[in-house]
Amino acid sequence: MTGALPIPPVAELRKRQSAKWRTFPDDVLPLPVAEMDFPLAEPVAKALREAVDRSDTGYAAPTRDLADAVSRYARREWDWKIDPDDVRTVTDVGIGIVEILRRVVSPGDRVAISPPVYEPFSWWIREVGAHVVEAPLAEGPQGWQLDLDALERAFADHVTAYVLCNPHNPVGLVHRREDLVALAGLADKYGVYVLSDEIHAPLVLPGAEFVPFLSVSDEARRWGFSFLSASKGWNLAGLKAATVITADPAPKRYVDRLSPHSLYRTGHLGVIATVAAFNLGDPWLAEVLSVLDHNRKLLEELLVKLLPDVRYRQPQAGFLAWIDFRALGWGDDPTDHILAAAKVALNAGHRYGPTGIGHARLNFGCSAETLTEAITRIAALS
């Protein structure tokens, strides 16, 4: 059962020319790159088709449509009040974070992250000449959470900024309000900017509630930036449009220093698609969330039955699963063996930080058939 979404068969998906489908040979099931296999949301596809029919492929225009759409979505979904004047369009979340980091840190500064975390965070920090400081997540019997003691130790040791993953890729953690309040308190105490990557927020699954960082306190607003886009939720990554949001004049003055050209570096079709997604994409997203909810449980059932020695905890958000293969003795990077012998491509866990050794990240934004085939192939190796 994969809900009402007609997910194309793999032979059809292989006609896509995106990274997920062109990085590996045709005999490999590609489950690393964070793209989903669902057909586009119809309102998004329609908006794009109409733009192409108009030959409307020029530069993004300086309209308020995107800011208005994001603000309305945030209000509707999370009761988060954003002033559209505080929303700035950027090319993508990566560029938004790098450009803000360039303005709040100086080369040689220290910027903290909480591994295991989305690998490019450390690339982005190094790109601006800063040093990466690790304050790893804590894993307890109830699951993952921010380690506030580790964060305080890092912040006290001359950290200038912290890149928060909210929700947290790759473990699918939706941060608790009290942790975000405490994080904001630490940011205020030690003078640390918090760049909250909220790209996976529309994908929070049943049972969890997304808490926007800027909504938690005055301290969060004084030190925080939020990065939000439709690119993960509605699978629009290649179209290039995202936003950076502030809620206080202090961080906003850094946003105001972004190049006036940043709008023209944003995809015009990306803006069109994002506006359609935030304004009209709720019904499609609801179907996707129900498929993802089903798939995260199916994955657990498959692993319990076919690979009982691996460890997996259902994520609270997104379409990414974090799997601990260490008990199988497949080495520090089990993905090498899995790719070579099972022809299933996964992301190597060690790339998300030292705590990811022996782990892998799997993308379950696919059909139940693909997920079952992948786990069956991997289980045949054990």
Taking CB under 6 A as the binding criterion, the range among 88-96, 141-149, 185-193, 328-336 that sits at the site for ligand PLP is 88-96
3-state secondary structure 69-95: HHHHHHHHHHCCCCCHHHEEEECCHHH
Binding residues for ligand PLP, rule CB under 6 A, total 13
* 30, 32, 43, 94: which one binds ligand PLP (CB under 6 A): 94
- Nearest alpha-carbon partner for 235 in 95, 96, 365, 57: 365
Is 165 among the residues that bind ligand PLP (CB under 6 A)?
yes
CB of 269 to ligand PLP, least distance (A): 15
Q: How many CB atoms lie within 10 A of CB 297?
A: 11
- Is the Cβ of residue 3 or residue 233 nearer to ligand PLP in the bound state? 233
- Is the Cβ of residue 165 or residue 186 nearer to ligand PLP in the bound state? 165
- Is the Cβ of residue 160 or residue 169 nearer to ligand PLP in the bound state? 169
Measured distance CA(94)–CA(87) in Å, rounded: 16
Measured distance CA(75)–CA(14) in Å, rounded: 38
- Nearest alpha-carbon partner for 184 in 157, 159, 221: 221
Asked if residues 199 and 229 have their Cβ atoms less than 8 Å apart, the reply is yes
- Mask for 203-242, x = binds ligand PLP (CB under 6 A): --------------------------x-x-----x----x
- Mask for 111-140, x = binds ligand PLP (CB under 6 A): -------x----------------------
Is 197 among the residues that bind ligand PLP (CB under 6 A)?
yes
Long-range contacts of 298-305 (CB under 8 A, 24+ apart): 298/368, 298/371, 298/372, 299/362, 299/364, 299/371, 299/375, 302/371, 302/372, 302/375, 302/376, 302/379, 303/375
CB of 364 to ligand PLP, least distance (A): 14
- Is the Cβ of residue 342 or residue 345 nearer to ligand PLP in the bound state? 345
List residues binding ligand PLP (CB under 6 A). Answer: 34, 92-94, 118, 165, 169, 197, 199, 229, 231, 237, 242
